[in-house]
């Protein structure tokens, strides 16, 4: 936890220094020790040829029953867009991806919760771009789930319909095929938030939610959940109990240290993988595990 503590402290230091607004000088990192290596390009994470792996056959059958609405993702939502000027950021998301592969080689890791202490720290942007980094590898299937049912925004970044979605599934009004959208690439899928509801915590803490995650982890290589901020509601902690790991996002120059420390402490016994430190000034020499990316386009996106 010392490296995670340091990342949170750096975020607070940026805030207290009241550094000027930056337009092209952000940093991110997963604060976990050790170098990381990803599987060979085009290879399966477990070294099994796709045609020999029943999971890939299940995905093809699953995807045939889902909708393909045609997303219209804007350049500001993606570090990987051809129109994006965020080329350095794309590389750093690949680094984040590699570190997760390193962890998964030693421990089961398929279902990830991405959260933050408060709104406005960049968790939805990180969620979207981490998923895009995975699907740029051959034969990787990734599912994004918008589990922030009080303020769903994943569909906005992807340019996708917002319903039917998770809330409709949890209420029993739709099945997993009806709420899952297949993106233009064919291997990135989305379950949006769905219709507004009055009891998201009760529905989230249900056997139906647990069943959905177990089912989807058999179909996809990675299932990534964008959860509500941890200090606002208890949903992120509930989801963490159902998933394999938690990534905590903090924003340098904005996140209060005590708030971030209190929020992240809830996940110490729930496989907190590390911290993504967002919007750190490019010139700061923190250490080799803080990585920079250009955020000119990110600053125009309204994300959590």
What is the reported pLDDT for 301?
A: 32
Residue-wise pLDDT for 24-54, tens only, equals 223 344 544 333 344 444 444 444 454 556 7
- pLDDT class of 137 with cuts at 50, 70, 90: very high
* Average pLDDT of the chain, as a whole number: 79
297/176: higher pLDDT: 176
| CA atoms within 13 A of residue 84's CA, in its CB half-sphere | 26
The CA-to-CA distance between both ends of the chain, in Å, stands at: 24
Domain ranges of the chain: 2-33+49-299
Higher-pLDDT residue of 18, 261 = 261
Range with the largest mean pLDDT of 6-15, 101-110, 286-295: 101-110
What are the pLDDT digits (tens) for 218-253? 999 999 999 999 988 889 999 999 999 999 998 876
pLDDT of 18 above 70: no
Give the DSSP letter string of the chain. -HHHHHHHHHHHHHHHHTPPP-SS-EEE-B---S---PPPTT--TTS--GGG-HHHHHHHHHHHTSB-------GGG-TT-TT-S-HHHHHHHHHHHHHHHHHHTTS---EEEEEESSTTSSHHHHHHHHHHHHHTSTT--EEEEE--TTS--HHHHHT----S-HHHHHTTSS-HHHH-EE-TTSSEEEE---S--S-HHHHHSSHHHHHHHHHHHHH-SEEEEEPPPTTT-SHHHHHHHHSSEEEEEEETTTS-HHHHHHHHHTTTTTTEEEEEEES--TT----TT-EEE--TTGGGS---
Supply the pTM of this predicted model.
Answer: 0.80
What is the rounded distance in angstroms from the CA atom of residue 80 to the CA atom of residue 125? 12
- Does domain 2-33+49-299 fall into CATH 3.30.565.10? no
The pLDDT assigned to 83 comes to: 56
């Amino acid at each position: 936890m010392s490296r995670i503590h340091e990342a949170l402290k750096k975020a607070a230091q940026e805030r207290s220094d009241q550094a000027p607004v930056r337009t092209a000088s952000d940093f991110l990192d997963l604060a976990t020790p050790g170098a990381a290596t990803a599987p060979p390009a085009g290879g399966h994470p477990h070294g099994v040829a796709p045609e020999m792996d029943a999971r890939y056959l299940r995905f093809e059958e699953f995807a045939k029953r889902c909708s393909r609405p045609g997303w219209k993702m804007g350049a500001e939502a993606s570090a990987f867009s051809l129109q994006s000027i965020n080329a350095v950021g794309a590389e750093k998301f690949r680094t984040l991806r590699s570190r997760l592969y390193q962890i998964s080689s030693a421990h089961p890791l398929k279902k990830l919760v991405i959260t933050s202490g408060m709104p406005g720290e960049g968790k939805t942007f990180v969620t979207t771009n981490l998923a895009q980094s995975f699907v740029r590898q051959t034969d990787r299937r990734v599912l994004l789930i918008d589990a922030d049912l009080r303020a769903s925004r994943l569909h906005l970044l992807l340019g996708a319909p917002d319903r039917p979605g998770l809330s409709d599934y949890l209420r029993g009004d739709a099945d997993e095929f009806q709420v899952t959208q297949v993106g233009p690439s064919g291997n990135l899928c989305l379950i949006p938030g769905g219709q507004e509801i009055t009891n998201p915590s009760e529905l989230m803490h249900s056997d139906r939610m647990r069943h959905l995650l177990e089912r989807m982890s058999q179909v996809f290589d990675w299932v990534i959940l964008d959860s509500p901020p941890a200090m606002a509601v208890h949903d992120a902690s509930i989801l963490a109990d159902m998933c394999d790991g938690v990534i905590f996002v903090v924003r340098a120059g904005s996140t209060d240290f005590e708030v971030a420390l209190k929020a992240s402490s809830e996940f110490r016994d729930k496989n907190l993988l590390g911290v993504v430190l967002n919007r750190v000034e490019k010139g700061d020499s923190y250490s080799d595990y803080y990585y920079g990316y250009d955020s000119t386009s990110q600053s125009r996106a309204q994300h959590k």
